[in-house]
């Protein structure tokens, strides 16, 4: 029996579709506080000519501005792809309580693959991490996106 996705992950997956439609790698991110969405974003590196405009980074900037503070204690980040090392570093610095992601990223991930940022002794904050939420849909989004570019 399939369980419905939590609403923040459903929204992140919808944002990933918007990213793909804009020619961006399909990744979406949503930040919640007390169960309410306070920020959301999609990948926008190409459109903004900004290599740091990953969905997570943009959402973190929006949430910090909205809350008026640089630390996002009490917040959960929902993202459709395992964060890269850059994003994982920002997640630690922002002091998120939790990270929820959909698909693993064996090539570019920085949480359970690659740099494993939260496992390093120099990482001073480690959020609660849970992956695999909506992983089938997120993986299919990515496969469809890259299949159209490899033709």
Query: pLDDT per residue over 101-148, tens digit each?
Result: 999 999 999 999 999 999 999 999 999 999 999 999 999 999 999 998
Domain boundaries, position 24: 7-148
34: left (phi over 0), alpha (psi -120 to 50) or beta: left
Residues 6+ apart with CB under 8 A from 64: 70, 72, 94
Question: Binding site residues for Zn(2+), as ranges?
Answer: 54, 84, 87
Q: What is the mean pLDDT of residues 68-75?
A: 98
- Annotated catalytic residue: which of 40, 56, 82, 137? 56
Give the CB-side neighbour count of residue 81, counting CA atoms within 13 A: 28
Give the CB-side neighbour count of residue 13, counting CA atoms within 13 A: 21
Q: What is the mean pLDDT of residues 67-75?
A: 98
Structural domain contains residue 42: yes
Structural domain contains residue 144: yes
Give the chain's mean pLDDT: 96
Structural domain contains residue 73: yes
pLDDT at position 23: 97
pLDDT at position 46: 97
Structural domain contains residue 1: no
CATH of the domain at 19: 3.40.140.10
Structural domain contains residue 2: no
pTM attached to this predicted model: 0.96
Question: Binding site residues, as ranges?
Answer: 54, 84, 87
Structural domain contains residue 116: yes
The total number of structural domains that make up the chain: 1
Residues 7 and 35: their CA atoms lie apart, in Å, by 10
Kindly state the DSSP code that residue 6 receives in the 8-state scheme.
Answer: P
Residue 24 falls in the annotated catalytic set: no
């Amino acid at each position: 029996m399939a369980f419905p996705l939590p609403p923040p992950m459903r929204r992140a997956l919808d944002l990933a579709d918007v990213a793909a439609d804009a020619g961006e790698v399909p990744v979406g991110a949503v930040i919640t506080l007390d169960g309410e969405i306070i920020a959301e974003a999609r990948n926008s590196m190409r459109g903004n000519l900004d290599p740091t405009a990953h969905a997570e980074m943009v959402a973190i900037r929006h949430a910090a501005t909205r809350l008026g503070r640089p630390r996002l204690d009490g917040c959960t980040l929902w993202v459709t792809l395992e964060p890269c090392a850059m994003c994982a570093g920002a997640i630690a610095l922002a002091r998120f309580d939790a990270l929820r992601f959909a698909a693993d990223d064996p090539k570019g991930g920085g949480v359970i693959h690659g740099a494993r940022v939260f496992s390093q002794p120099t990482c001073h904050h480690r959020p609660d991490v849970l992956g695999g939420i909506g992983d089938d849909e997120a993986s299919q989004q990515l496969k469809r996106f890259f299949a159209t570019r490899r033709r």
